[in-house]
Amino acid sequence: MRIGILGGTGPAGSALAARLASIGYEVVIGSRSKYRAMEARDGMVQKWPDIESMLSYGDNPQAADCDVVVIATPWDSAATTAQENEAALEGKVVVSMANALVRVGHEFQPLVPPRGSVAAHVQAAVPKARVVAAFHHLPATELGHLGEPIDSDVLICGDDKDAVRTISEMVAKIPGCRPLDAGELSNATAIEAFTAVLLQLNVRYKTRVAPKLTGIKRDPRALQA
């Protein structure tokens, strides 16, 4: 499976690209500028030589030509980026990972994007794609610590069950992560907004928190049945 990362030069996108490459996926780092993507890829290879063979780069249309596509742009350009690549994304699993947030003083506050969530806005922009919301709560810094597990649950929601299962299988391969099927895409509103709470805890307690839920069977395969 080849995974394309649209907007893969930012902190979250590049960290996710490196982590997925480290667990055996072929990853194409995409950007509006092919040269920025090349620089990002070269920087990753310099830092983690072992993943060189799994990483390539291109512009966003080239990244959108992969089997699964992750949109890792800032939230306010996620739907636009998806729409610009609508033909390439038709029928594909498309992951929305952006959170619509703003900092007001010392507090983080969630915004309400069109359609109620970034993921729903992306789905409206590419109606023939199978949009899944995931990866919202994984800290970019921890994603980039390739030798260490990430102790976190990953909430995944979408209207296409096969698409949710595909991303769940991907998440289950990341050491320390547990995929949880959080229901239909409408639940992305709550998942995205909850990121503001986690960021506020990070500031208050000078740490990086990640969600861990109790009372659910550990085996991810049981959650996909």
d(CA 153, CA 215): 12
Residue 138 burial (CB count, 10 A) = 24
> 140-164 pLDDT, tens per residue?
899 999 989 999 999 999 999 999 9
Q: Please write the tens of the pLDDT for every residue from 45-88.
A: 999 999 999 999 999 999 999 999 999 999 999 999 999 999 99
pLDDT for 106? 85
In angstroms, rounded to a whole number, what is the distance separating the alpha carbons of residues 126 and 91? Answer: 9
Q: Class assignment of domain 2-223?
A: alpha beta
Domain boundaries along the sequence of the chain: 2-223
Q: What is the dihedral of CA 22, 43, 34, 138, to 10 degrees?
A: 50
Q: pLDDT (tens digit, 9 = 90+) per residue, 2-15?
A: 999 999 999 999 99
Average pLDDT, the chain: 94
The pLDDT > 90 percentage for the chain reads: 92
Q: Are 133 and 88 in contact (CB under 8 A)?
A: no
